[in-house]
Amino acid sequence: MKSSELFPSLLIGAVASARSMTPMAALAAAHLAGRSTPGRLVLLKRPLFTAGALLMGAGELFGDKMRTAPDRTVALGLIARIMSAGIAGAALAPKGRERIGGGIAVATAVPMAYLTLGARKLAMKRAGQTRSGLVEDAIVVCSALAIVSLAVRGR
């Protein structure tokens, strides 16, 4: 196995650093489009999970613009990133390498959460909370969709 096969896991961890629910929403969207992940992801076989992942992904995009939204590095935010990155990283890893893929995604998501928070705070000073959030949303959602679409395959 080549290390490049785990690159999607690393990249989806970076996505989770900025938006914790976006990796799961992107996987749910791929599942609805008839695509399957290289690694095992049993959760997508449950319609409630698929719908919940999409709703939580959309809700996070709206909630992030609220002035009362907590920083992504608070304990609950980091836990959400760890869980989402771990699940998505495992799903995008080659079959039999899910644990390594999940670990790589988590190892990327946690430190990157601090980096992306710093970048967002700088952007907020220049463009405000809503504008900086919308730009970040566009970057993160497009990245997640590109990563997942390149890593999944048709059924």
Phi and psi at residue 154, in whole multiples of 5°? -70, 155
Strand partners, 153: 36
Instruction: Work out how many domains the chain is built from and give that number.
Output: 1
Return the pLDDT at 2: 75
The pair of structure tokens assigned to 148 is 């997942």
Tens digits of per-residue pLDDT, 36-78?
Answer: 999 988 887 889 999 999 999 999 998 877 878 888 999 999 9
**What is the pTM for the complete model shown?**
0.92
pLDDT tier for residue 1 given thresholds of 50, 70 and 90: low
- Mean pLDDT taken over the chain: 93
Q: What is the average pLDDT across 84-102?
A: 96
Among candidate residues 91, 139, 112, the one with its CA nearest the CA of residue 131: 139
pLDDT tier for residue 108 given thresholds of 50, 70 and 90: very high
pLDDT tier for residue 154 given thresholds of 50, 70 and 90: low
**How would you label 121-148 residue by residue, b for 16+ Cβ within 10 Å and e otherwise?**
eebeeeeebeebbeebbeebbebbbebb
Q: What is the average pLDDT across 69-91?
A: 94
Domain that holds residue 34: 3-154
Structural element, H or E, at residue 109: helix 98-127
